[in-house]
Structure 1
């Protein structure tokens, strides 16, 4: 099983960051390469459409509003991995700063471990950079 993670420190209170990213259907609000997200099964399954029109279906596995974290798995996606599970967490650094961590575990399938890690590390780092831009706008 492979793992990767990315973190970003933001000059924004953790509650404000969580308000933006804590909703399971909120990716289009801060992630430009996911322009569409639809929820089903009472909000526990999201169907995402990326800029190329690919559909990614994910299931919410755990959610803790007080700890500002959620974990999800991929049910369907055009990625060369199986057993994908990811966690997004907003940590309070102090009253005016926060740290966001996005991490994942997966088993490469049809790609090398290095290629799969590079793919998701890129998703996480680009996603967190987009989050910073959205919060600064």
Structure 2
């Protein structure tokens, strides 16, 4: 199993960050790579599309409002992995917040290193987009 992670510290309150990213359907609010999101199954499954029109379907596995964290799995996506499970977490700091995004998965047809680099890039780019949204 391979892993990937990225973190970002921002000068915004954890509550402000969580209010922006904590909704399972909120990716289009801060992540330009995901322009649309539609929920199904009572809000536990999100149907996403990337700019190329590729379908990405993810299931909410765990949600903790007080802990500002949720975990999700990928049911369908154009990525060379299976068994993908990821957690997005917002941690309160004295003068801001830290956002941690991490995942574990089994690569298919690519090396562990290549799969990890792919998702580290996705997480890093996503956190940069979040930083820009918070600054705007």
> Under TM normalisation by the shorter chain, which class is it?
over 0.9
Report the counterpart of residue 127 of structure 1 in structure 2.
Answer: 126
Q: CA deviation at 1:31?
A: 0.2
Cα separation, 1, equivalents of 2:110 and 2:47: 24
1:100 counterpart = 2:109: no
TM norm structure 2: 0.99
Report the counterpart of residue 6 of structure 1 in structure 2.
Answer: 6
Q: CA deviation at 1:114?
A: 1.1
Q: CA deviation at 1:111?
A: 1.1
Return structure 1 stretches of 4+ with deviation > 4 angstroms.
Answer: none
Deviations 1:103-136 (A, max 9, x none): 0000000111111001000000000000000000
Q: CA deviation at 1:57?
A: 0.2
Q: CA deviation at 1:102?
A: 0.1
1:50 counterpart = 2:45: no
Cα separation, 1, equivalents of 2:86 and 2:62: 10
Deviations 1:72-109 (A, max 9, x none): 00000110000000000000012x40000000000000
Report the counterpart of residue 115 of structure 1 in structure 2.
Answer: 114
Report the counterpart of residue 88 of structure 1 in structure 2.
Answer: 88
Deviations 1:24-69 (A, max 9, x none): 0000000001000000000000000001110000000000000000
TM norm structure 1: 0.98
Cα separation, 2, equivalents of 1:52 and 1:118: 21
Cα separation, 2, equivalents of 1:65 and 1:47: 22
Please list every run of 5 or more consecutive structure 2 residues that lacks an aligned counterpart in the other structure.
none
